[in-house]
Amino acid sequence: MTTICVIFPQLLGTYGDAGNGLVLHQRARRRGFETTLVSVEPGDELPDAAIYLLGGGEDGPQRLAADLLRESSLSRRVRDGARVFAVCAGLQILGQTFCIEGNDEYAGLGLIDATTKRGVTRSVGEIMTESQGQRLVGFENHGGQTDLGVGVDSMGRVLVGRGNDGAVDGYHVARIWATYAHGPVLAMNPWLADLILEDLLGSKLEPLSSAADLLYDERCRALAS
């Protein structure tokens, strides 16, 4: 049994982000894999899970989530082999530091060499990135400017929108993926959901055709024009 854990959906779930857990769970089950989908709320111990998902949140909840996660077992679990998929505020929390509520700097988990400053303007709108021939489409809404350390790969090159800094979006290091495309980004990009699942389940997955494929094609076309 593979456990998929959504972390603090009440704090980090502003944009329907918990949908990403649902997508992984459903796409695994439809291929015959046994998965369970759980969520953890503040005050509860993190359950043992193969992957943890972090969503987006408003400033106050983001700071609280970071405080709780710094004292949690998440970092140890990731070092022991667990995977993480993070969007938006979650992306910032996994890094070294982030700035919210004016320019106050807060400590992240330091799992990734990435620092987030406050951007000059808020980035709100559709985003499309490209990485090794694959397009990632979604919607971003954040005020961060994230710089990646040496040796930290981004998730893709920005074609539309802003991402980390206008040039690249997110990061992917070993078992951790993160993007500013918030909300149900895995619903809109079934290939990315499957890429993460293959890594998680350690096996090659059969194609799975669904409405999500049509949605992905439509969004790619809409954003290319």
Partner 1 sequence: MSDRLDFRDAIARHATLTVNWVSRLSGRGSGTVLGGTVGMKLSPRLFATLARDRSIILVTGTNGKTTTTAMAATGWGGVVTTNATGSNMPAGHVAALASDWSPHVVLEVDEAWMPEVLETTRARVVVLLNLSRDQLDRANEVRQMADRWRQAFEGSSRHTYTVVANANDPMVVYAAQLARDVRWCDVPTQWISDASSCPVCTESIHFDETGWSCNCGFERPKNVTTRLNDHLSIDGIDVELHLSLPGDFNRSNAAMALSALRQLGVDPSGAAERMSKIESVAGRFSVRRWNGHHIRLLLAKNPAGFAAMLSTLDRDASDVWVAINARIADGKDPSWLYDVPFEQLLGHRVFCFGDRRLDLATRLDYAGVDYVVVDDESELEECGEPVALLANYTAFSDWLARTR
Residues within the interface to partner 1 (CB under 8 A): 10-11, 13-19, 22-23, 26, 41-43, 58-61, 63-64, 122, 124-126, 139, 141, 182-184, 187-188, 210-212, 214-215, 218
Least Å distance, CB 37 to partner 1, is 11
Least Å distance, CB 2 to partner 1, is 17
Which CB sits closer to partner 1, 23 or 112? 23
Helix (H), strand (E) at residue 63: helix 59-70
Tell me if 149 sits within 8 A of 108, measured CB to CB.
no
- The type of residue at 131 is S
Which CB sits closer to partner 1, 88 or 114? 88
Which CB sits closer to partner 1, 27 or 175? 27
The CA dihedral of 78, 154, 56, 176, to the nearest 10 degrees, is: -10
Which CB sits closer to partner 1, 9 or 108? 9
Give the span between the Cα atoms of 115 and 112, in whole angstroms. 9
Tell me if 114 sits within 8 A of 107, measured CB to CB.
no
